[in-house]
Each structure stands twice: as C-alpha cells, then as structure tokens.
Chains A and B, each alone.
Chain A
Amino acid sequence: MSESVNLAPPSDGEVLVIAEQILGELQPVTLELLGAGRYLADKLGGKLSTVIIGHNLGDIPQKLIEYGADTVYVADDPELQDYRTLSYRRVVCDLLETFKLPPHIVLLGSTTTGRDLAPRIAANFETGLTADCTELDIGPYEHKSKVDPSKVGLYEGCLYAIRPSFGESLKARILGPWKNPQMATTRPGQMTPLAPDANRIGKIVNIPVKLQKEDLRLVVAETVREVSKGVRLAEADVIVAGGYGLGSKEGFELMHELAKCFENSAVGASRKVVDLGWIPYEHQVGQTGKTVRPKVYIACGISGAIQHRVGMSKSGTIIAINKDPDAPIFKFAHHGIVGDVYQIVPELIRQFKEKLTTKGEKTVVHTH
C-alpha cells in the first residue's frame, strides 16, 4: 500500500502555446505545437490556448483556431514588429499574470526565438523548462526520493518531456510536476500538426501591451533573411551531407558536385566539420543544427552519432557511405556502402552522368 498523496498544484489543465510568426507568416513549428498541445489538453481535460505577438497580424489568429486552438490571445503593437527578447518576454509574463491559475503547460518551439525566450519566462516564474523535446505526453509519476520530503507523492497529469540525452543513444524523460506551468520547447519537425478545419470554433482575445522603457533596451537595426541564396535544407528533396570522414574541407566540393546531380538538393554537414570550419553553420544538420526530412539523405563519412541522428532520422531514404563498417549510421540507414567516399562518390556522379546521356534510361522510374 502506498501512502502517497497527490500533491500536484491545482490546475484547470490549460495548455498554452507561444506562437511564432515571421513577417506575418506562421512558423511550421507553431502548427506542430498546436497539434501536440491539442493532444495534451484533451488528455488533461483542459483547453488549448495560444498567444501570438507581433504587428499587423492579419488572419493569423483565425488560422491558429483552424489548427486547434480554443483561445487565441493577440498582442498587436508597432513595438512588437520584430522579435525582441525583453518586449516579447513582457507580453508573455503579463499575460500569465492575468491567469487565475497558471496554465498547466506552456510550449514553445526550439527555434532561435523559442530558445531565446523560453528560459527567461521559466526563470521569471521559477518553473521547470525542458529543452529540445522530441516527444511530449501526459502521465502519472510517483516521486519516492526523500531528499526533499515535501516533494514525495503521487502526481497525475505530469508533462512527460522526452529528449535525447547524454549524447548517447538514450531518451530521457524529464518531469517537473511540482509547479505549473510545466514548460518545454520542441524541436521543429518532430510533432504532427492537425489538419486545418475552417469550422473549428474559438475565441480571439486582444490583450493590452504595456511595454516599459527597460523592455526596449535592445534595438533591431536590420533583419536580413536569405530568401533564395540561403541553404534550403528544410525544403530539399535530396540532401548530400558530409562528415569528419571526408578528411578535409575540400571534400565538400565533392558533396556539392554530387548534390548538383539532383533536383531540389542541398548540402548538409555534421557538427564536427562545422566546428572545424570546413563548412558554414547554416549547413549543419542535427541537434544543434537543423532538423531535416528530405526524401533522400546521403550521408558521406558521417558516423551517425545521436546528435546528428536527431536531425535527420526522419528522412525518407537514408543512404550511408562510410569506411567504418561499425559506424552507428549503418544501424538506421536503408542502404549502406562500406567504402571510401573518394572512390564511391565520384563513381556515383559518373554513373549518374552516364545515365543522363543514355537515352531511355531516365524514363525507367520505379515506384515503391
């Protein structure tokens, strides 16, 4: 018999998603968060709210309802045109202060914005925050550790914030049921959005914006977005990625050459080679880089450590070329060649070119 009692703080099960828009366009991670948030709110028997911050937000609030929100809080102000830590932080903190009970859960995307903002909100409310989650769920938890006797007990409705951990093949379940809101950021590309439903009914609430002088200490002088010349890792059908096994910076010329064989392709890289300066950061795939979901991922000289795997494991077809037959990447690739990248890749390019010049060959397209 357990003497445990439920000590979870009072809650009405509300889940709040902090939405993200850039130039009036909702970010995909927000739609994913609404999908995950809807699931969590339904399981908790609470409502799903979201807050959108910016200026001239157009039909975004309506869209947030279509994607699953029950209530949309709108903070619209010229000073909120650009994302800025302190002014956005003020809006969210002020909003949370107006709640009778704090939301059960607050979610943000693990984007440069979410990772900038979430820790400040969590620190302000002295609550827990789990970074870069790949799965979220709700469940019970019985805390038995006597280190802090006031925490011992059975807790229902805990946020299971699950993230890869220790740089090894481990998933850690992080819990913080002692205080609400329980907060998490989730990696883009990991959750599934709901299908939009124009008939979904929700409430739009304009909230007052009361910025203070100290919230405007940082000035955005200029924002530059790379529209066409940037590395389009997120949208590419085929990614050719290089790792430490390439041996040198020059190996990336070969990666670019292979990428040119494909329509809508991009060149990716592991963190190690980015750290070595072989290729700029915007090419980095993985836990500290981008999450990608191409139809084909060709990993050249990449061992497949968990940090990299987190970023590319949802690729359609994974093809690995590596000298080391024990490289972890062969455990989750679909096609593997044990061999020297400098022998295999030039041969790939040669055969592709041959195919292109041989009439008829290209018309043989298999459907799987």
Chain B
Amino acid sequence: MAGPYEIFVLIKQVPDQGSKAGLNPDGTIDRAKAKRMLNPFDRYALQAALHVKRTYGGRVTAISMGPPPAVEILLEALEHGVDRGYLLSDRRLAASDTLATAYALFKTVTHVGKFDLIFCGLQTTDGDTAQVGPQLAERLSLPQVTYCEDFHLDDGRLHARRIIEGGVQFVDCVTPALITVANSYHPLAYKSFRGAWRVQQLQRNPEELGKYIRTVDLDIIQADPERCGLKGSPTIVAATEKVGELGGNCSMYEGHAPDELVGELIEKSNLKEFLVA
C-alpha cells in the first residue's frame, strides 16, 4: 500500500517565552496571563504531516491536549491544511508529567482511530523534555524515529534520516510508526489563503466548526482519571530556586571608539593566547 495515509500530528499550545507579559515575580510563567502560541517545534511536525498528505495522499488529524484556549492552535492547523482536530481538555489533567501526558494522549489516539503515522515535535518549549513522543510510542508498541530530519515513504515503509551524536543515520521501518521531527526539517510553509478563508467561514458557524474540531474529555476517551494529572504523575516539581545572579564582575568596556574598545579587550583578556601563529 502506498497511500492514502491516515496521519496524526500532535501539537501543543505553549506560553510565548519571548513576551514578558504573564511572568510571575519569581520568574515562572503565569499561564493564565501569558501570551499563547503553537509550540515552535510542532511547526516542523505539522509541515511533515502535511507533506505526507500532499505527496502520497491521505488525511491529517491534529491532536492536542490542553485547556480550552488550545483550540486556537487547532484552528491554526486547519488554516495550514489539516483536515480535522481533536482537543483533549479536562481539569483532571492538571499537573500531568510526561508519563501521565503520554497515557492521556495514548487514550486519545486510540479513541480517534487507526493511523499509519504519528508526527510529534521534537520537544516543547515549556517542558523541553522530548519524552512524550517516545512514551506514547511505548504505550502504542510502535517503532519510533526521533530527531528525524527528512524522510520519504515507499510502499508503506518509512525511510528516514535522523540526527545522532556527531552524524546522521539512515533508517527504515514498517508503519505504523511514530516520528519526532527535528528543527532541521523544512520549516512550515505559509498558510494558504484558501485555508485561512475556510477557517474564517467555519468560525462563523459553530455547528459546522464542530464537525471539524472535537473537544473530548477523560470520560469520552475512557481514560482512567487515577492515571492522569497529578495523581497519575510519578514526578512533581518539589522546589524551584532562582539561579543566583551570576558573575557580576564582568569587565565592561564602554563609551570609546571601536578601536580603543577592542584594544582594551585584547589587552585585558586572554584572547591573544589562541591566535593562529
């Protein structure tokens, strides 16, 4: 079988760390106030999923877990050409660590149905763990290709190039499989005018929109609440401490002409020890 493919892509809404809005006094993020955005790593996963659809044919389903506003990134995904979206939203998911998150996503994926490929971003910018993809693959007993830079499909078989320490590796495996996409993959293309227009029309008609984006909870996906959220998480954040103001004894060279500044730097630093002979 060479297609069409049933393609899932997992995406997450994260706080925009570039904006200072929504920071607590201790430097943590006030998620209620912070600006929200699609996890930058997931943009590569979306591009990969859409690439499969455009090249080999198929249907792309975006799946996300998060509070209700996360529907925004599913709409964004629709604008890019994704066919439908599922949002898993439930208060009982609060404080999920990666293990509990992967369990909840596993139940969601199983609820949504059969698939050939699952794409995930390499990691998120709010957790930075890169664990949820492989943990989901474990629960689904799938082969996985992490740090995937490029790939093609051939008769239902996945051929991929992945990053390893100091090099790259060419691998191939059967589908279904789970792929986490490295940020050296192709960047997400611009939204099409048609996609944006379509979503705009849908937003005017909530009933019609409901056919494309479904919100589900733990009961609908038949997940065990004991395995979700804080209860289902084997780890907790027990303490955070502010990293002490480092150094503080930086020698600053300010206010002179560049040649003087540079002369002073060369004189006072150890740079010249390393110059080519």
Q: Are B169 and A263 in contact (CB under 8 A)?
A: no
Contact of A113 (CB < 8 Å), options: B164, B167, B243 = B164
User: Which of B127, B248, B270 has most chain A Cβ within 10 Å?
Assistant: B270
Binding stretch for chain B, among A46-54, A99-107, A175-183: A175-183
Asked if B263 and A351 sit within 8 Å, CB to CB, the answer is: yes
Q: Tell me which of A57-65, A67-75, A216-224 binds B.
A: A216-224
A124 at interface by CB-CB < 8 Å: yes
Contacts of A331 in B (CB 8 A): 245-248, 250
Task: Specify which chain B residues have a CB less than 8 angstroms from the CB of A334 in the assembled complex.
Answer: 247, 249-251, 269
Across the interface, which residues of B come within 8 angstroms of A171, CB to CB? Answer: 240-243
A1 → chain B, closest Cβ, in Å? 22
- 20 extra A-B contacts, CB within 8 A, seeds A131-B98, A167-B128, A262-B275: A115-B130, A119-B132, A126-B234, A129-B98, A173-B240, A173-B241, A174-B236, A220-B170, A221-B170, A223-B168, A224-B170, A230-B167, A280-B184, A281-B182, A296-B269, A333-B247, A334-B247, A335-B250, A351-B263, A355-B275
**Interface flags, A77-106, vs B, CB<8A=1, else 0:** 000001101100100000000000000000
Residue of A nearest to B233 (CB): A128
Q: How many residues of A contact B (CB 8 A)?
A: 107
Which of A35-43, A203-211, A312-320 is found at the contact surface with chain B? Answer: A312-320
Does A278 count as interface, using CB distance less than 8 angstroms?
no
A172 and B253 form a contact (CB under 8 A): no
A179 to B235, CA, bound (A): 9
Q: A335-B269, A339-B261 are in contact. Are A166 and B28 (CB under 8 A)?
A: yes
Does B276 interact with chain A (Cβ within 8 Å)?
yes
Interface flag for B266 (CB, 8 Å): yes
For A316, the closest partner residue in chain B by CB is B270
- Contact yes or no, B237 A277, CB < 8 A: no
Interface centre among A264, A275, A280, A307 (most CB of B within 10 A): A275
Q: Which residues of B contact A352 (CB under 8 A)?
A: 266, 272, 275
- Complex interface bits, B147-176 against A, C-beta within 8 A gives 1, otherwise 0: 100000000000100111111111111100
Give bound CA distance, A288 to B145, whole Å: 18
B72 within 8 A of A: no
**Alpha-carbon distance A287/B86, docked complex (angstroms):** 31
B164 lies within 8 A of A112 (CB): yes
B262: CB under 8 A from chain A?
yes
Cβ of A256 to closest chain B Cβ, rounded Å? 14
Give the bracket for the number of chain B residues in contact with chain A. 35 or more
B60 is an interface residue with CB less than 8 A from chain A: no
B19 CB → nearest A CB, Å: 12
Residues of B within 8 A of A218 (CB): 143, 145, 171-173
Interface 9-mer from A191-199, A245-253, A360-368? A360-368
Q: Is the CB of A219 within 8 A of B172?
A: yes
Q: Does B209 reach chain A (CB closer than 8 Å)?
A: no
Supposing A171-B240, A214-B141, A362-B277 touch, asked if A129 and B99 sit within 8 A by C-beta, the answer is: yes
**B229 nearest in chain A by CB position:** A147
- Interface membership of chain B positions 25-61, coded 1 if the CB is closer than 8 angstroms to chain A and 0 otherwise: 0111100000000001000000000000000000000
Closest residue of B by beta carbon distance from A27: B165
A366 neighbours in B (Cβ, 8 Å): 270, 272-273
CA distance A333 to B268 in the complex (A): 14
A170 contacts partner chain B, Cβ-Cβ < 8 Å: yes
List B contacts of A332 (CB < 8 A).
246-247, 250
A32 at the B interface (CB under 8 A): no
A31 at the interface (CB under 8 A from B): no
Instruction: Say yes or no: A260-B276 contact (C-beta < 8 A), given A128-B235, A170-B27, A339-B258.
Output: yes
With an 8 A cutoff between CB atoms, is B112 at the interface?
A: no
